[in-house]
Amino acid sequence: MVTQMNTHQHVISDLQRYRIFHPDEADIVDDFLTLVKNTEQPFSRYQYQPGHIIAAGCVFSPDLQSVLLMFHQKIGTWVHPGGHPTEEDACLADTFARELREELGLVELQFVETNGLILPVNLGIHDFQAHGDQPTHQHFDCRYAVVIDPETSIVRNDESADARWFDIETLSGEGVVGEVCDLVVASQKTALRFKS
């Protein structure tokens, strides 16, 4: 179980800042804030009603024209990296950085910042289908963007059968599902908007 450390207040602050830069997304920000404020363990993978928060995101090339995706063993499709917070994570950006280390062996990365702040570049809520002893529930994705050198060595773990770079312009023709294509394009759009 994830202890609540500073995560509750940190996430609330980040969501309030996110709303300033994305006023058209006030409704989804409110959904996230309701989850964080009104559920007992919003960061626990075992909270199924209505679901829990995930830290995920996109790994971009420096020009933001290519994205690194992994082929997830269990799901059987190309996905963006990410996962559940743990006790060692001080904030959701730390969760995403840890997931990148664990899933792809990435250590040297640069977060895309929003006016000097490390904030999500995209928020999303999606249904996660029942699997094993987990009932169907929702994942509340706080999606970050990082930039790495495309020549960086990738070290996959047992969750990722493969990992490779995709040109974002041709992503939909590469066997990547529409939902992943949409979130990559949305994340790229925000990253380009705030790229320094």
Q: For the segment 118-171, what is each residue's pLDDT rounded down to a tens digit?
A: 999 999 999 988 888 889 999 999 999 999 999 999 988 877 789 999 999 999
pLDDT digits (tens, 9 = 90+) for 91-105: 999 999 999 999 999
Give the contacts of 193 (CB within 8 A, at least 6 positions apart): none
- pTM: predicted TM-score of the whole model, two decimal places: 0.92
pLDDT of residue 48: 92
What domains, with CATH codes, occur in the chain? 7-194 (3.90.79.10)
- Compute and round to an integer the Cα radius of gyration of the chain: 16
The pLDDT value given to residue 8 = 85
Each residue's pLDDT tens digit, 32-88: 999 999 998 999 999 999 999 999 999 999 999 999 999 988 888 999 999 999 988
Per-residue confidence (pLDDT) for residue 132, from 0 to 100 = 84
pLDDT of 1 above 50: no
What gap in Å lies between CA 5 and CA 132, rounded to an integer?
A: 29
pLDDT value, residue 98: 96
Q: What is the mean pLDDT of residues 7-17?
A: 92
- Per-residue confidence (pLDDT) for residue 5, from 0 to 100: 42
Question: 195 or 166, which is more confident?
Answer: 166
Give 18-26 contacts, CB < 8 A, sequence gap 24+: 18/114, 18/119, 18/120, 18/123, 21/114, 21/115, 21/119, 21/194, 22/190, 25/123
pLDDT bracket for residue 107 (50, 70, 90): very high
Please enumerate in sequence order all residues whose Cβ is within 8 A of that of 32, keeping only pairs 6 or more positions apart, or say none: 11, 15, 53, 123, 140, 142
The tokens describing 42, both together, are 């919003």
* Per-residue model confidence (pLDDT) at position 68: 98
Evaluate whether 103 touches 81 at the Cβ level (below 8 Å).
yes
Structure-block tokens of residue 175 = 């066997």
Specify the range with the lowest mean pLDDT, choosing from 20-24, 74-78, 113-117, 124-128: 74-78
